[in-house]
A and B are shown apart, each in its own frame.
Chain A
Amino acid sequence: MSSLAVGTGGSRKRRLAPPTQRRSETLLLLGPCVLYLVAFSIYPLIASLIRSFENYNPTKNTWTWIGFQNYHDLFTSGQFGSVAEQTLILTGAGVAIQVVAGTALALFFNQQLRGAWVVRGILILPMLLTPIVVGLMWRALLNPDWGMLNWIFVKLGFGYIGWLSDPNLALWTLVLVDSWQWTPFVFVIVYARLQALPQEVFEAGAVDGANWFQRFRYLTLPLLMPAIVFAAVFRGIDAFRTFDLVYGLTNGGPVISTTTLSFQAFQNGFEFQRYGYASAISFVMVIAAAIGITLLFRVVNVRRLEVAS
């Protein structure tokens, strides 16, 4: 930090403030931010890490240190494998569908179509809704008795479909609903990037005789990749911790076929009062997410180098 001072003899001199003053200014400016981080991020994180090594007794309202027992219980519960797998399916399949569909929509709307702005506006509406509302809305649409989707399917002669009650289908219904809500997000990101791409590159490609597919494969896609990766990473993190959609739509069932790690943490923490166990699940999620993102960024960096070369 520097300051201006008026020197003797009327001449303006620029000099640095003494180190002590600079330190206090730094503290003053960064202090609130650091305090905020400590109070709302670091302290809860450490507190919940400690809790993950403890057991809460609701009848005595006491906490007991039990070491790694919660983690041991989690990994040997018999449910962890399928819950983790479901979380990964919801994340992987959901993000893949959203990236492909969102990019396709962006490319489609990048053409100068008449009235496209109206459709674009409507298209992004789902992502403006909160996931719990989306869950409840879709629960109504999928209602077994008066839901619109089953009504249409029955009228078309397909018969009744147990969207939320068939253990083999419920998770894919969640993927569908999640994709319905978040494809517009990928669309917006990719579309914004498309609008900013330099046209000269494409003109040069056309002059060199590249066909539509070649222009897409060797020009559009590499140039869009940063936006696609950003959208995928963002959505991946978000989908990995999906809770509200599960809560609103399936409550983790049938059996545990749509239970995600977040939902399992919620259920154990807030419904069964197993706070320590819920904290352990959350920490496993944090570690898994950190590893996943680190690996992903390493892959992304390689791609960038490839593109640059």
Chain B
Amino acid sequence: MSDIKPRDELEPTESLVSGLASGQTSRDEFIKRAGMLGLSATAIGGMLAAAGKATAGDLHEARRLAGSTVNLLVPSEGAQLGVKDKMAYMKKTFGINVNMTALPVGPLNEKLAASVKGSSGTYDLISVLGFTVADFVGAGFFTDLSPYIKKLPAGYGYPSDYPKGELEYLSNFNIKKQAFGGTTPYLIPGLYAGPILLFYRKDLLKKAGVAVPRTWTQYLAAARKLNSSGIAGNTMVAKSGDVSMFLVDWYTRFAGMGGKLMSGSPQLKNFTPRLTSPQAVAALQNMVDCVKVSTPGVLAYDFTISTDAFSAGKTAMMLGWTTISGPVFNPKTSKVASTVAVATTPGNSPALEGNIVRGGWGMGIPKNAKNKDGAWTILTYLCSRDWGKFEVAAHQTDPARTSVFNDPALNKKFPYLRTAGQANQRARILEIANIPETFELITDAAQQFSAALSGSSSAAAACKAANDQWIQVLKRGGHLK
């Protein structure tokens, strides 16, 4: 993986600029190819100006943004490393200074809320987590991107390069109906997506004569068989209140067992939780049983510690966001890079396999941004195919685009990528993601579930407690009478 040559294989924009500067590429050819890559008119103008091949029109477009600043707010889950790598490149290419703030999800949401609600925002370009789209986009804080998107060249691949469900979740929103989808785009999917996969040690499974589990019963049996004094059968996100405990470990089991999270709808005010359903309790019970064949400290695991434990060779299986767990394939950060394989998540029937929650982020421009045109230029770059390829190669975060998931060169280096892409196609929107209380509900459930995982309550009692809390929150929010 370290021998990837970004310039040769993954950086068409940079090689295009080099060609223009060296005279190998004509101005017209450059514009044509840059358009195919999806670069905005401003970006193309900037590049031509830098290469001394700009017309008066190009220069006008480029000068308009030259020296301006774009304040960028992104999550610190790995992709920020790629943005940092490309700071100088963005400055050189577009003439725009990019100031990046990278924060974990919680603090990012705090900054986001504070920035978009002011008369003049701190940030010009912001990554919005899918689970908070209803909160922030639904409240009308983001700019309608339609006029910008109309100017995008066809080669940019919006919307054709994204799974339908991803666009519905991380791009379009119907503010009037407070529902995902609709026809108005407020975000572009990126910096990265978040499918969930089953990661396993193929050497350990082979040695123990265990097939890759396809049902949750098989998963538990495999974890028990693989569990030894040196290596735990499996690991999970089991830290109390951690949203990934609910989304990755519980919900994947729940959905794989055919569970349905809610009945009714917020609009009809009969939005009712089903956390006491047999599938909900069985999913939690499966986790409780899996904890017994996990590492001793699993109850304190967030997704970073869980991934670290897997990378250190301490566990045989885990579920994970591939964008977080991708580095387990990197020999520099993982002891088990050569022995890891992935599969779609188990399900109690073939139709239920790979039933996962949709994750990922969208990038948008707040209405109160000071430099909207500059933000759009940077957005088109950070959501481009070109950047997606670079980010996968350099930092193994998952792209948002289908073409990058299926890129032959990248798949040669990262065989998990195609499976991750397939999972990303199938992922489904969390049923409670369309109300502003999403995070509160997830946190409440993850807190209550931890009581069962620690053995201080039964799975059924924990599910009941979570269900009661959800009813209270949904009533307060006016989604349930």
Contact = CB atoms under 8 A, between A and B. Distances in A.
A256 interface: yes
B437 A255 contact: no
A253 B437 CA distance: 20
B297 interface: yes
Given A144-B305, A162-B300, 11 more contacts: A59-B134, A61-B139, A61-B140, A143-B305, A144-B298, A167-B451, A254-B239, A254-B240, A254-B454, A255-B451, A270-B110
Contacts of A272: 437, 439-440, 443
B369 to A, nearest CB: 17
A165 B476 contact: no
Contacts of B178: 59
Interface string B440-451: 100100011011
B439 A145 contact: no
A164 B300 contact: yes
Contacts of A160: 296-297
A1 B305 CA distance: 66
How many of chain B's residues touch chain A, expressed as a range? 35 or more
A166 interface: yes
B241 interface: yes
Contacts of B296: 144, 160, 162
B312 interface: yes
8 contacts: A73-B476, A145-B309, A160-B297, A162-B300, A165-B239, A252-B447, A254-B451, A273-B113
A167 B240 CA distance: 10
B299 A145 contact: no
Interface string B452-481: 001010000000000000001000100000
Interface of A: 58-61, 73, 77, 142-145, 150, 160, 162, 164-168, 250-256, 267, 270-274
A256 B444 CA distance: 9
B77 to A, nearest CB: 17
Contacts of B299: 144, 162, 165-166, 254
A156 to B, nearest CB: 15
B436 interface: yes
A255 B240 contact: yes
A256 B440 CA distance: 14
Nearest to A147: B297
Contacts of A250: 240
B447 A253 contact: yes
B249 interface: no
Interface in B123-151: 134-136, 138-141
Nearest to A257: B240
Given A59-B135, A144-B297, A167 B110 contact: no
**Would you list the 7 A-B pairs with minimal beta carbon distance, nearest first?**
A144-B297, A253-B240, A165-B299, A254-B240, A160-B296, A272-B440, A165-B300
Contact of A61 (B117, B241, B451): B117
B109 interface: yes
Scoring A142, A251, A253, A270 by chain B CB atoms within 10 A of each residue's CB, the highest score goes to A253
A166 B308 contact: no
B250 interface: no
B295 interface: yes
Given A59-B138, A144-B298, A165-B300, A273 B241 contact: no
Nearest to A162: B299
A291 B300 CA distance: 37
B462 to A, nearest CB: 9
Interface string B169-183: 000000000100000
B456 A255 contact: yes
A142 B448 CA distance: 23
A251 B241 contact: yes
Given A167-B456, A272-B440, A145 B134 contact: no
Interface string B280-324: 000000000000000111111100010011001010000000000
B350 interface: no
B439 A143 contact: no
Contacts of A73: 476
A274 B312 CA distance: 40
B139 A144 contact: no
Interface in B250-299: 295-299
